[in-house]
Each structure stands twice: as structure tokens, then as C-alpha cells.
């Protein structure tokens, strides 16, 4: 997803779903799942600081480390579940994996679903309903020739269903946070 608020909204939605299932509505738990919805993008902050937020053609590297791999959150969820209870572990894996799924649906280069076994990135490209995969050398070649950003250029259009979804989820997020405060 392009907007960070979509990931936060997804994390909060996971939290609400789990509170409905368990019957326990804890503000701290909802704030936890909200934060876990954006945890995989912590690498973007580190990458941005290293590059003085001049991303340009290097922005594809933002999803190239372990923070955008499912296995890391499986391990973190197991540890969290053991430490604080199953609801917290399920909240962590639900929010973080939903982030990864959303990142596989957008205009990016996808994520490494099968890391550490494979460095190939996968994405589901919504406009053409096709599964695409990119090996690191293919990404470098496409970037060198200036290709691959057509989808991002067309993202900011009210005709794009993904843009509409992201804007609506952002409004929902702000409304829900207002209710929590």
C-alpha cells in the first residue's frame, strides 16, 4: 500500500476483530495491533534516514530486508504469545501479515514471501489479476531502464479503486482513534 495510514487501519481492524472474538476490549491491545500494522515499514524509516529521504529510484530497497518477510513475524508472534497470551501473539501476526498482504497488492516490487529460502519477491498486481515475481537482478535491470513506476504514477487518481480504498481506510482510522482517545 502507498499510504501508511492504510497499514495502521489494517492493524486496528485486526485488533477490533480479535476483541469481538474474545469479548475483551482493551485500549492497550488495540494500540498494540495498530502499531504492529505498520511495524514492517520500520525499515523505510531507517532507509530514509540513511538516504536523507531522497528515495528516488532506490525506494524499491525499502522492502528488501527481513522486516518484510513473514517468518520474522511468525517467530515474534510465538514469543509474544508465550509472554503476554495468545491474543497478543495473534494480534501481532494478524496485523503484520495483513501489512505484508497489502504490500503484495500494490504497485511495488512485492515482498519476499519465501525468505530465507528464496530472495524472489512476489506481488499480486490487481489491475491485471496476475501473480508477478521479481528476482533481485530483474529489479535492478528494470530500475536502470526507468521502468516499473507506471502504476505509481497512476495511483493518485479517483478512478483507481486502490486509491479510494486507501483514502476511506484512512478516514476510518482517524475516526476510530478519535473514539479511543
Q: Is 50 exceeded by the pLDDT of residue 128?
A: no
List helix spans (H) across the chain.
4-22, 27-36, 42-50, 70-84, 86-104, 136-144, 150-155, 161-180
The reported pLDDT for the residue numbered 147 is 47
Q: Is the pTM of this model over 0.95?
A: no
Which pLDDT tens digit goes with each residue over 91-106? 999 999 999 988 887 6
Q: What is the pLDDT of residues 71-89, one digit of tens each?
A: 999 999 999 999 999 999 9
Domain ranges across the chain: 4-180
Predicted local distance difference test score (pLDDT) of residue 174: 79
Amino acid at each position: 500500500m502507498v499510504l501508511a495510514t492504510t497499514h495502521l487501519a489494517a492493524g486496528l481492524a485486526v485488533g477490533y476483530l480479535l476483541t469481538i472474538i474474545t469479548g475483551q476490549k482493551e485500549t492497550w491491545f488495540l494500540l498494540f495491533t495498530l502499531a504492529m500494522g505498520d511495524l514492517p515499514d520500520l525499515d523505510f524509516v531507517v532507509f530514509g534516514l540513511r538516504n536523507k529521504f531522497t528515495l528516488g529510484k532506490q525506494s524499491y530497497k525499502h522492502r528488501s530486508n527481513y522486516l518484510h518477510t513473514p517468518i520474522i513475524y511468525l517467530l515474534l508472534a510465538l514469543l509474544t504469545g508465550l509472554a503476554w497470551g495468545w491474543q497478543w501473539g495473534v494480534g501481532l501476526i494478524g496485523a503484520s501479515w495483513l501489512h505484508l498482504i497489502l504490500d503484495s497488492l500494490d504497485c511495488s516490487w512485492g515482498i519476499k514471501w519465501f525468505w530465507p529460502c528464496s530472495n524472489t519477491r512476489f506481488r499480486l498486481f490487481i489491475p491485471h489479476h496476475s501473480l508477478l515475481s521479481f528476482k533481485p537482478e530483474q529489479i535492478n535491470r528494470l530500475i536502470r531502464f526507468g521502468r516499473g513506476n507506471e502504476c505509481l504514477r497512476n495511483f493518485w487518481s479517483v478512478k483507481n479503486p486502490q486509491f479510494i480504498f486507501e483514502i476511506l481506510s484512512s478516514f476510518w482510522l482517524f475516526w476510530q482513534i478519535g473514539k479511543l482517545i
